């Protein structure tokens, strides 16, 4: 499985706009083949920090995801609403069954 973890500091004046677009965007991502989880949420300690957690299986699904029109549109939008560059880390994780 591929996990993507990170986030972006958003201009506080655009938080409501980002929230509305983020809900639509996350729903579109969750509908993609291979998406196990896609969450965008506001950090409780810094209300301008939008946190991202994605899980993909198989990992190749993420490569297709980042080329989707809704992802390219979101990327352009969120860059315009950002107060700082995003920070994301990808992790490949083996699932262990008990």
The single-letter DSSP state of residue 11 is -
Residue 97 lies in a domain: no
Supply the pLDDT for residue 65: 97
Placement of tokens 């297709």 in the chain: 64
- If one counts the domains in the chain, the total is 1
- Written in H, E and C, the secondary structure of 13-47 is HHHHHHHHHHHHHHHHHHCCCCEEEEEEEECCCCC
Give, in order, the Cα–Cα distances in Å from 10 to each of 17, 32, 98: 11, 26, 40
Stretch 2-20: mean pLDDT = 97
pTM of the model: 0.91
CATH number of the structural domain spanning residue 6: 3.30.70.100
- The answer to whether residue 69 sits within a structural domain is yes
Residue 54 placed within a domain = yes
Q: Is residue 13 part of a domain?
A: yes
Domain-embedded: residue 30: yes
Structural domain containing residue 76: 2-92
pLDDT digits (tens, 9 = 90+) for 23-45: 999 999 999 999 999 999 999 99
pLDDT at position 97: 82
The answer to whether position 38 is within a domain reads yes
Q: Does residue 83 belong to any structural domain of this protein?
A: yes
Residue 98 lies in a domain: no
> 41-89: per-residue pLDDT in tens?
999 999 999 999 999 999 899 999 999 999 999 999 999 999 999 999 9
């Amino acid at each position: 499985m591929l996990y993507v973890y990170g986030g972006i500091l958003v201009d506080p004046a655009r938080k409501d706009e980002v929230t509305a677009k983020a809900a639509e965007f996350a729903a579109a991502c969750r509908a993609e083949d291979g998406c196990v989880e896609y969450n965008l949420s506001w950090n409780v300690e810094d209300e301008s920090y939008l946190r991202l957690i994605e899980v993909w299986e198989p990992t190749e699904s993420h490569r297709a995801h980042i080329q989707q029109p809704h992802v390219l549109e979101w990327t352009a939008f969120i860059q315009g609403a950002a107060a700082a560059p995003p920070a994301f880390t990808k992790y490949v994780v083996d699932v262990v069954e008990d």
